């Protein structure tokens, strides 16, 4: 439950489906996950992006084992104290796994609540957050005994937002399969005012800071590729990558790459293979990829691995492209 909730945050279900079974096969219990090496957790998360979630899930498993004797806390309040569990995830786990009468408000539920109240706010506005959570909590506390379980109530609200009160074309007047419109039109202020399309208000697009990466493909005499590991904090923390120089203001010059990575001087020892762009939530990244000759003394932080081994490492999407796809075209 916790694994699926964290994997599904900001990641498409189809992509999660590719990784979910393998992750649970390797870590079938919270003890197995808590006892694993972080590099292995990141490797099995590879391709899902937002690797911070994997590190937090790992930390949460360790907290459950070391601080709670291997038993999950059951209330939303206690779950929120675990690393990586925000208000929504704690509410979802508490209600779905433990039957707690507590709300789980995601973007779908927020949209429904704002439209019902006719409030033209962005979803993340503090007022919107407070209103959505208090309305959803009230549904739980005022629900009659005959009402469905807290989990079903939460799932129904989320599903209602995803299937009926959708972001762009809400089904107020009838796009449902059964031909009827939304059952809440009489209670919906946005419907009465015709403001559904304006609620929630769009957020300003995030300003992404540029970052320039120069990655080199270096092979040893056995044809294995050099890989190194990123720092434990910051962008793509702890993942593996080709030896890389990064700069915030401009791409590194060839001289800087040679100096920084110890690439030997001379004709043909450093040539450009490709350039491409990639975005993260906060960065606009430009990658330059080079093929380089083996330094006389490769840095101790480099490891030389065959492609099959590299495929099993935790790699960001750009580095997967560099180390697995571009490396294949670069020859030996």
Give me the active site residues, please.
5
Residue 287, helix vs strand vs coil:
strand
Burial 137-176 (b: 16+ CB within 10 A, else e): eebbeeeeeeeeebbebbbebbebbbebbeeeebbbeeee
Going by C-alpha positions, the residue among 187, 234, 52 that lies closest to residue 244 is 234
Report the nearest approach of ligand SF4 to the CB of residue 205 (Å): 24
Tokens 């957790």, residue located: 41
For the CB of residue 184, give the shortest distance to ligand SF4 in the complex, in Å. 4
CB of 110 to ligand SF4, least distance (A): 12
CB-nearer residue toward ligand SF4: 136 or 182 = 182
Q: How far is the CB of 195 from ligand SF4 (least distance, A)?
A: 9
Instruction: Return d(Cα 135, Cα 165) in angstroms, integer.
Output: 16
Length of the chain, please? 332
Nearer to ligand SF4, 180 or 282 (CB): 180
Closer Cβ to ligand SF4, 27 or 191, answer by number: 191
Whichever of 196 and 214 has its CB closer to ligand SF4, that residue is: 196
Q: Which helix (H) or strand (E) holds 62?
A: helix 52-67
Q: At what angle do helices 150-163 and 107-117 cross, to 10 degrees?
A: 80
**Distance in angstroms (rounded) separating the CA atoms of residues 242 and 245:** 10
Nearest distance in Å: CB 285, ligand SF4: 38
Give the tokens for residue 297. 């003394």
> Tokens 């498993």 appear where?
61
CB-hemisphere CA count at 13 Å for 26? 16
Give whichever of 2 and 172 is closer to ligand SF4, judged by the CB atom: 172
Residues in contact with ligand SF4 by CB under 6 A are 112, 115-116, 164-165, 170-172, 182, 184-185, 188, 190-191, 196
> Residue 47 burial by CB count (10 A; 0-12/13-18/19+): exposed, middle or buried?
middle
Beta partners for residue 225, in sequence order: 219, 305
Smallest separation (angstroms) from ligand SF4 to the CB of 202 = 16
Smaller CB separation from ligand SF4, 83 or 174 = 174
């Amino acid at each position: 439950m916790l694994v699926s909730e964290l994997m599904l945050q900001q990641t498409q279900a189809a992509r999660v489906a590719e990784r979910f079974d393998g992750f649970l096969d390797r870590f079938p219990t919270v003890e197995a996950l808590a006892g694993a090496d972080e590099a292995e957790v990141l490797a099995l998360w590879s391709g899902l992006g937002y690797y911070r979630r994997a590190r937090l899930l790992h930390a949460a498993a360790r907290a459950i084992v070391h601080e709670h004797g291997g038993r999950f806390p059951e209330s939303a309040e206690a779950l929120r104290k675990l690393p990586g569990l925000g208000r929504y995830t704690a509410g979802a786990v508490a209600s779905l796994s433990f039957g707690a009468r507590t709300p789980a408000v995601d973007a779908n539920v927020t949209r429904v609540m704002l439209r019902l109240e006719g409030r033209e706010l962005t979803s993340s506005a503090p007022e919107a957050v407070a209103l959505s959570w208090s309305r959803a909590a009230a549904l739980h506390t005022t629900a009659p005994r005959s009402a469905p379980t807290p989990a079903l109530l939460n799932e129904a609200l989320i599903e209602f937002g995803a299937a009926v009160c959708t972001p762009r074309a809400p089904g107020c007047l009838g796009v449902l399969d059964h031909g009827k419109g939304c059952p809440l039109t009489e209670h919906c202020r946005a419907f009465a005012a015709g403001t559904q399309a304006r609620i929630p208000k769009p957020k300003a697009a995030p300003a992404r800071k540029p970052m320039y990466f120069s990655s080199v493909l270096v092979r040893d005499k056995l044809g294995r590729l050099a890989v190194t590991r990123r720092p434990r904090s910051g962008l793509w923390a702890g993942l593996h990558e080709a030896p890389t120089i990064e700069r915030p203001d401009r791409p590194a010059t060839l001289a800087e790459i040679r100096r920084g990575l110890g690439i030997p001087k001379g004709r043909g020892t450093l040539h450009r293979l490709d350039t491409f762009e990639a975005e993260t939530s906060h960065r606009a990244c430009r990658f330059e990829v080079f093929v380089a000759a083996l330094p006389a003394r490769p840095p101790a932080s480099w490891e030389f691995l065959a492609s099959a081994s590299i495929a099993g490492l935790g790699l960001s999407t750009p580095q997967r492209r560099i180390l697995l796809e571009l490396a294949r075209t670069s020859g030996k």
